[in-house]
Amino acid sequence: MGWQVGPPAALKRFARARMKLGRLTRRLLVHHLPLAVISIAAAWAIGQGTASPDIKFRWSMGTAYVASLQLAVVLSIGTWNLLLRRSNPVSSDFRRDLGIWAGLTCLAHTLIGWQVHMGHMWLYFFKSREGAEAWALRADFFGWANYVGLAAALAAMVLLVSSNDFSIRVVGRTGWKNLQRLAYLLVALTIAHGLMYQVIEKRALVWIAVLGTIVGWLLAVQWAGVTARRSP
């Protein structure tokens, strides 16, 4: 009979469980707690900047711009690593956790935003026909802005549900990476939705400038990333 090499299987499982718990605790304390505080505080501060008496509108604006900023930072991390000649892992805890909060903020904006203009969320997508009890899908600019916003919320939900180690194991590293490229679609939809609402709400120049700055930053970052990939 040969000698047993290494600790028993039970000890190995205990060690792995302890490592996972330590990683989860670290992420909760170092990433999620600060991100939660910063996200809520920033959304509140931006909402106060609107000077609107409607608390729902203030939080809608706050979550909208915070989500846009969070998404811009998430998409900048990969380019930053390329410029510094660092490797880009399939997933890093900070980028994933920041992406989670970007998704949560997007969904918070969607839920709050549905309460601002029409009083009922269905009226963002449907309107009653004159002289009839039937309802029809909106085909106006307001309706299309909300369809784009809804598509962005659905993309955020897919990214949130898949932002975990279990999803990586199920679909594989390549499949998971391809799935996470939905973040680019989410950003494009978010920007389009934001630009359309600049028109709908006739927002002040300062808010247009903030969104324009975010868009300009994203374009510059993506161009820098493409250039870095092509360079030897």
The position carrying tokens 């811009």 is 72
62 has pLDDT over 90: yes
CB atoms within 10 A of CB 146: 25
41 has pLDDT over 70: yes
Helices (H), strands (E): how many in the chain? Answer: 8, 2
Q: Is residue 2 part of a domain?
A: no
Percent of the chain clearing pLDDT 90 (strictly above): 53
Burial 168-180 (b: 16+ CB within 10 A, else e): beeeeeeebeebb
Q: Is residue 118 part of a domain?
A: yes
Q: Is residue 4 part of a domain?
A: no
Q: Is residue 3 part of a domain?
A: no
pLDDT at position 20 is 58
DSSP summary character for residue 129: P
CB-based contacts of 63-66 (< 8 A; 24+ apart in sequence): 63/105, 63/106, 63/108, 63/109, 63/112, 64/109, 64/113, 64/194, 64/197, 65/207, 65/210, 65/211, 66/39, 66/42, 66/105
> 136 by DSSP, 3-state: which?
strand
Q: Is residue 134 part of a domain?
A: yes
52 has pLDDT over 90: no
Q: Domain of residue 83: give its range.
A: 9-230
Q: Which of 71-85, 97-111, 139-153 has the lowest mean pLDDT?
A: 71-85
Convert the pLDDT of each residue in 161-202 to its tens digit.
998 888 988 989 889 888 888 999 999 999 999 999 999 999
Residue 145: exposed, middle, or buried by beta-carbon count in 10 A (0-12, 13-18, 19+)?
buried
Q: Is residue 1 part of a domain?
A: no
Domain count, the chain: 1
The position carrying tokens 């956790």 is 97
- pTM of the predicted model as reported, rounded to 2 decimal places: 0.84
DSSP summary character for residue 30: I
pLDDT at position 69 is 96
